[in-house]
Amino acid sequence: MRIMLVDDSKTMRNIQKSVLSQLGYTELEEACDGQDALSKVGAFKPDLLLVDWNMPNMDGLSFVKAYRAQDKTTPIIMVTTEAEKSRVIEAIKAGVNNYVVKPFTPDLLSQRISETLSKAGIAA
Amino acid sequence: MEARFITPFIQSVQNVFSTMLQLPMQIGEPRVKAGKNTGYDVSGIIGMSGDVVGSVVLSFPDDAARRVVALFAGEELGTDSPDFADAIGELVNMVAGGAKANFDGAKVSISCPSVVVGSGHLIANTSDVPVIEIPCMTDCGEVAIQIAIKTNANAPTQAASASA
């Protein structure tokens, strides 16, 4: 299972990595913004992406729209401080499969990952 | 500044510190910060735009900042480390993001955070918005939230509701 973490905060990526490694996922790639992620998805070929919203250079929503133009199926979980209902709807319309609002507990992130992979028919 | 903006910040900072750091927080009495707005030794600053404009600061004394960052990042970091600034910036990002979600439907965007390190640094705010400071106490030390925001009368959604 290859998982890409897209977040401009290294601290947040490290927290997510810690949760994912506890779940047994170790094949991880990191990107610090949407542009960086777009440059890496071709080579890494992720099975799942965790994407922040507010990032410099290219934000998460723009990245999701650009990525969905080339890949319609790989599941994406938005992990963000953007908690308003209108934002969640905007993200889902852009192609996000699930949504985690920061701050989150490790249990909540684990649960969202499991349900997202299950819905996508991907064995965890 | 409107009082309705205060409670969302109190709820958000308590939520961020308890969820990410397992650190309970006692909230002091909000007060108008008179005179020049000086921060403690480390400040995370984030801007708001849209229906609400202004800035939010999460400011720590040096020792409190080091201890909070150690909890959040899982390792002790010096204040000159880029990872230290990253951690402070992410904390203020979560506090501001959580607060704006409870601004009664206002559409607000937040900037990428900036972090200032230096004793007694001055934080310049627009002169027409009073700075409200909320003192907070944790087992790691003091934290202050400084809020200088106001409703943006020129924002499209505000203008629409005013003319409706």
Strands B31-32 and B132-138: antiparallel
pLDDT in tens, A5-61: 999 999 999 999 999 999 899 999 999 999 999 999 999 999 999 999 999 999 999
Q: Closest to B97 (Cβ–Cβ): which among A8, A56, A83? A: A83
pLDDT in tens, B30-61: 999 887 777 799 999 999 999 999 999 999 99
**pTM, 2 dp:** 0.92
The residue ranges of every structural domain in chain A are 2-119
**Exposed, middle or buried: residue B87 (CB in 10 Å: 0-12, 13-18, 19+)?**
buried
Percent of chain B whose pLDDT exceeds 90 = 75
DSSP B35-94: SS-B--SEEEEEEEEESEEEEEEEEE-HHHHHHHHHHHHSS---TTSHHHHHHHHHHHHH
Tell whether omega for the bond before B156 is within 30 degrees of 0, i.e. cis.
no
Closest-CA residue in chain A for B104?
A84
How much is the pLDDT for A119?
92
Could you give the domains of chain B?
A: 3-26+36-152 (3.40.1550.10)
Chain A CB within 8 Å of residue B157 CB: no
Q: Do A82 and B97 touch (CB under 8 A)?
A: yes
Segment 16-35 of chain A within 8 Å of chain B by CB:
18
Chain A CB within 8 Å of residue B71 CB: no
Which amino acid, B163? S
Complex ipTM over 0.90:
yes
pLDDT in tens, A77-117: 999 999 999 999 999 999 999 999 999 999 999 999 999 99
Domain A2-119 has CATH 3.30.2040.10: no
Could you identify the residue written with the tokens 């991880």?
Answer: A28
- For an interface test with B, the pick among A9, A58, A87 (most B C-beta atoms closer than 10 Å) comes out as A9
What does pLDDT average to over chain B?
90
